[in-house]
Amino acid sequence: MSRRYLLDAYAWVEYLIGSDAGSKVKDILEEEEAEHYTCAVTLAEVVSKTAREDRNPETAYDILVSNSKTISVDQELSKQAGILHAEMRKRIKDFRLTDAYVLTCAKMLRARILTKDPHFKGFHEAIMIV
C-alpha cells in the first residue's frame, strides 16, 4: 500500500508561499508512490486565506485540486468530526472544528497529516513540517 498524506491548511499555505517548510511539502507531493488528500474544509480555509491576503484564490484552488484528491464533507464525516471536536476541546481549549475535520479525515483514510499547526503536535497521525 502506498503512503497516504492529508495536507492541512498550514501545509498548503507554506507550499503556496514557497517557504522552507513548503519545500518539504513539495518533496512529499513529488513522491511517486504517495497518495495526497485534502479535506474540503481545508480547501475552503486556504482559498479564504489566499483571498484575504489579496492573492489569487483561483490559483490556490487549482493548485490544491490538481495536486491532491479532495475529501468531501458528508453527514457521517461531520458527525464524527463533531464528536472528536467535543472530545478534543476538553484537552485543547482552542482546538478548531476545522482541525477536527482534518484529524477525522486522516483517521478515516489511515493517512498522515502534513502540518505546521501546533494543535497537532504530539499526534501520531501528524508529520510536523518545520
Please say if the pLDDT value at position 83 is more than 80.
yes
Read off the pLDDT of residues 99-116 as tens digits, 9 standing for 90 and up.
Answer: 999 999 999 999 999 999
Cβ atoms of residues 36 and 68 within 8 Å: yes
Please say if the pLDDT value at position 2 is more than 90.
no
> Which residues form the domain of 79?
4-128
CATH of the domain at 10: 3.40.50.1010
What does the DSSP 8-state code read for residue 120? Answer: G
Q: Rounded to an integer, what distance in angstroms lies between the CA atom of residue 118 and that of residue 49? A: 18
Q: Residue 130's pLDDT is what?
A: 85
Strands laid side by side in the 4-7 sheet: 69-71, 35-39, 4-7, 112-115, 126-128
Domains in the chain, number: 1
Average pLDDT over residues 41-45: 98
Please say if the pLDDT value at position 1 is more than 80.
no
Q: Rounded to an integer, what distance in angstroms lies between the CA atom of residue 101 and that of residue 77? A: 8
Question: Comparing 1 with 101, which gets the higher pLDDT?
Answer: 101
